[in-house]
């Protein structure tokens, strides 16, 4: 064996760090300490709670994404380095959103469309 040949891989298991990418548009909403929730396909009924601990100082010029890291306690050791995970960052504020089925979107080359119908009432509250 020659000098400098790796003989072992060292990893931290508890806590574990989940590194992932987010679009640069989310940068203004990211704050250190935000709650994070991690789930894996290996343990579909389980989730782990952690916090956002690092926001990279550089945006990737090719993808315009920013790399972030959440630190998650892993006392039971079920999470392992290299596992695929879904990570959610939980915003402290609630937002109203309109959810529509994907089949309601009309896809077109010059822009996608969704038509919304709104029931109007006259000032007395009666439908026309």
pLDDT at 4 over 90: no
State pTM to two decimals. 0.63
Q: What are phi and psi of 77, to 5 degrees?
A: 70, 15
Q: What percent of the chain has pLDDT over 90?
A: 13
Residue 17 near residue 70 (C-beta atoms within 8 A): yes
pLDDT at 25 over 90: no
All domains in the chain, ordered by first residue: 16-92 (2.40.30.170)
31-85 pLDDT per residue, tens: 899 999 999 888 889 889 999 998 988 888 888 899 999 999 988 888 888 888 8
Give 18's strand partners.
70
Rounded mean pLDDT of 103-117? 85
């Amino acid at each position: 064996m020659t000098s400098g040949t790796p003989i072992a891989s060292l990893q931290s298991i508890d806590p574990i760090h989940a590194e992932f990418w987010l679009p640069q548009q989310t940068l203004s909403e990211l704050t250190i300490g935000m709650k994070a929730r991690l789930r894996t396909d290996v343990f579909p009924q389980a989730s782990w709670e952690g916090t956002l601990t690092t926001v990279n100082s550089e945006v990737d010029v090719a993808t315009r994404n920013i790399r972030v890291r959440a630190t998650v306690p892993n006392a039971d050791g079920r999470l392992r380095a290299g596992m695929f995970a879904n990570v959610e960052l939980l915003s402290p504020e609630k937002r109203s959103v309109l959810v529509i089925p994907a089949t309601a979107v009309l896809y077109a080359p010059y822009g996608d469309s969704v038509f919304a119908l709104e029931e109007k009432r006259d000032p007395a509250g009666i439908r026309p």
